[in-house]
Amino acid sequence: MSAAPLAPPPAPPAASVPAVRWDRPFLALLAALWTWAIGIDAPFWQTNPDYSYGFIVPVLTVFYLWKRLGQADPPAWQVATGGAVGRRRLNPWLLAIPALGLFPLEVYRIEYFQSGIVLWVINLATVGFTLAGAWWLGGRRFVATVAFPVLFFLTAVPWPAKIATPVQQALMTNVAQVVSEMLLWLGVPVQLDGAVLHLTKGPVGIVEACSGIRSLQSGLMVSLAVGELLWLTRRRRIGLVAFAVLLALTSNLVRTFTLCWIMEKSGGDAMHKAHDVVGNIAMYSLYALIYGVGKLLEPRGGAPWPEGAGGPWKARLAGLRWTTVPELRPLLAASALMFAVVHGWYHLLTLQVRPQTTPYFIAKIDKASGTEKQPFDEQVWGRLGATEGEQVRHRTPMAPAGFVDAYHLFWRPSPMSKTALHHRPDICMPGSGWKQVGEVETVEASLDGRPLRWLLFRFEKSDLKALQLWGVWRNGEPVEMDYSARISVLPERYHPFPSARHLMGVELVSVFLPYRGDAAPKTSTLTAMLPRLFTYRPPETPAK
């Protein structure tokens, strides 16, 4: 009897491939953070020429991510797509705690607008969360792959004032000193007064825009971008950055010297006509030279490029460890709630506030009484961004120098009105070579029968000294200032809850009295000038 044939063994069940989980809360938070960061940086790129290059940085960030991910070697992707598939065991409610900090952070950002600390906190949080996501999705190798493009975005973030202001002031005075020496070597008579070069045909002032900080910042960005584009080694990238810094400083020296030379030979009109042309030539020559040096340092065979962005891309991204991303729904919900509370609060304030839309101070322009209007420097006026204003000089025997200078500025509620308090004597005067002496004093002085509170500054420069009476009001109310921290861009005391301060008009008045010798004029001499310079006409019912 023959045995029945054995049935073939059953085929092993097909391995089940878990569906890829695209963690929506993670992607939503990532998109929200990048939108937030770019949204708060963009106004600086638009209004501040020093950061006008910022618009290209997000584009380059995306491009370098595409380039790096497209050319990543297979072992890197194998590491990124392998390993554990379980969700990270991080308590989602603990992860949601940082969202509570969004309330004071967003309030601070809206109230003060240009706080470098807030900008950097938000941008660093965006970069940090992105790199943390890269760690969850692909581990250390994946972080190393995307680190440079993500960190490169920080080149577009404005420097904090505590760094930018001292650097800017040092560049202004040092450039003026070096150019002055160069002119003297060539036999051109010049007198240096802080950051102002007095030539035979007129003065040339080196203001913030001409300090060279724009060339320095954009040169750093370009050198890093070229190093990544040409895939330079680490040492060559460092060398290219150092060369860019040196070249940026040299470029600005050449630019300033050229303008001074034109001023001396052809006069002020010719210098102003050549100003933008010379500046553009210096700037674009800087970028071209950085790229040229980068090409000399480029490795043989050129930089590698991705082969394509089709199927392999989709497979690679789908293969990332999406299931290892922590549970982020509580963090997303708490963040959305904080934003809704802050902006809902501000919306209610906009319904209640009555902003000042016309100035209360009016300058008395009258040549017969010795008061004449002086033109604002175009670059200075552009950086101030005021709605309207006057600069006047009043000639009087009461002043030790025979005159006093005064200016009045008014900002209607706008993004620029948020920056009005940054134009202060303790920051602006050192850029012109003046040194603040002593502490800021409070002075009470009436104008048209109304008592007003002013601040008194004291300055000196070589054999010159000066008193400056300065005041700033928001909707007719004096702004509480704190000058205990020098070189601080935000002298106002911070309040952690939303207010209507950024929705109101800002008005600023200054009277400047220069003198020589040790016998300082009395403060009453300065306050007595106010009725000769300004009229004060607030509305009968002050805006609240």
* Tens digit of each residue's pLDDT (9 = 90 or more) over 477-486: 888 877 765 5
**Nearest to 515, CA basis, from 399, 350, 390:** 399
More confident of the two residues 257 and 491: 257
Task: Say what percent of the chain tops pLDDT 70.
Answer: 85
Report CA 314 to chain centroid distance, whole Å.
38
Q: What is the pLDDT of residue 312?
A: 63
The answer to whether residue 124 is domain-embedded is yes
pLDDT above 50: residue 4: no
The answer to whether residue 496 is domain-embedded is yes
Q: List 362's β-bridge partners, or say none.
A: 535
| SS3 of residue 30 by DSSP | helix
Q: How far apart are the first and last CA of the chain?
A: 111
Q: What is the pLDDT of residue 20?
A: 45
228-245 residue pLDDT tens: 999 899 999 999 999 999
Q: What is the DSSP letter of 298?
A: P
Average pLDDT over residues 402-422: 87
For residue 402, the enclosing domain spans: 361-536
Q: What is the DSSP string of 491-529?
A: -BPP-SS--SGGGS-EEEEEEEEEEESS-PPPHHHHHTT
Report CA 59 to chain centroid distance, whole Å.
19
> 41, 119 in Cβ contact below 8 A?
yes
Say what angle helices 116-152 and 102-112 make with each other, to 10 degrees: 110
What confidence category does residue 376 fall into, taking pLDDT thresholds of 50, 70 and 90? Answer: confident
pLDDT above 60: residue 9: no
> 210, 179 in Cβ contact below 8 A?
no
More confident of the two residues 426 and 314: 426
pLDDT above 60: residue 14: no
Most confidently modeled range among 35-49, 118-132, 308-322, 424-438: 118-132
What residue type is 450 in one-letter code? Answer: R
Residues 172, 177, 178, CA angle at the centre, nearest 5°? Answer: 100
The answer to whether residue 542 is domain-embedded is no
Q: What is the pLDDT of residue 15?
A: 41
Average pLDDT, the chain: 84
The answer to whether residue 466 is domain-embedded is yes
Other Cβ atoms less than 10 A from the Cβ of 499: the count is 15
Do 118 and 223 fall into the same domain? Answer: no
The answer to whether residue 150 is domain-embedded is yes
Average pLDDT over residues 295-317: 69
The answer to whether residue 432 is domain-embedded is yes
> 420, 408 in Cβ contact below 8 A?
no
Q: How far is CA 174 from CA 84, 181, 205, 210, in A?
A: 58, 11, 13, 12
Do 111 and 249 fall into the same domain? Answer: no
Do 218 and 321 fall into the same domain? Answer: no
More confident of the two residues 486 and 341: 341
Q: What is the DSSP letter of 360?
A: S
| pTM reported for the whole predicted model | 0.80
> 262, 271 in Cβ contact below 8 A?
yes
Do 514 and 421 fall into the same domain? Answer: yes
pLDDT above 70: residue 303: no
From CA 55, how far away is CA 70, in angstroms rounded? 24
The answer to whether residue 520 is domain-embedded is yes
What residue type is 244 in one-letter code? Answer: A
Do 379 and 505 fall into the same domain? Answer: yes
CATH of the domain at 386: 3.40.1000
Do 95 and 107 fall into the same domain? Answer: yes
Q: What is the pLDDT of residue 134?
A: 92
What confidence category does residue 265 fall into, taking pLDDT thresholds of 50, 70 and 90? Answer: confident
Element (H, E) at 198: strand 196-199
Do 224 and 289 fall into the same domain? Answer: yes
What residue type is 182 in one-letter code? Answer: M
Do 390 and 532 fall into the same domain? Answer: yes
What residue type is 82 in one-letter code? Answer: G
Give the range among 97-101, 160-164, 386-390 with minimum mean pLDDT.
160-164
Do 146 and 213 fall into the same domain? Answer: no
Do 377 and 467 fall into the same domain? Answer: yes
pLDDT above 80: residue 517: yes
Task: Say what percent of the chain tops pLDDT 90.
Answer: 38
pLDDT above 60: residue 62: yes
Specify the number of domains making up the chain: 3
The answer to whether residue 38 is domain-embedded is yes
Q: Name the region of 232 (left: φ>0; alpha: ψ -120 to 50; beta: rest).
A: beta
SS (H, E, C) 301-345: CCCCCCCCCCHHHHHHHHCCCHHHCCCCHHHHHHHHHHHHHHHHH
From CA 223, how far away is CA 287, in angstroms rounded? 8
At a CB cut-off of 8 Å and minimum separation 6, what does 160 contact?
116, 117, 119, 120
pLDDT above 70: residue 369: yes
More confident of the two residues 68 and 303: 68
Do 400 and 432 fall into the same domain? Answer: yes
Do 405 and 433 fall into the same domain? Answer: yes
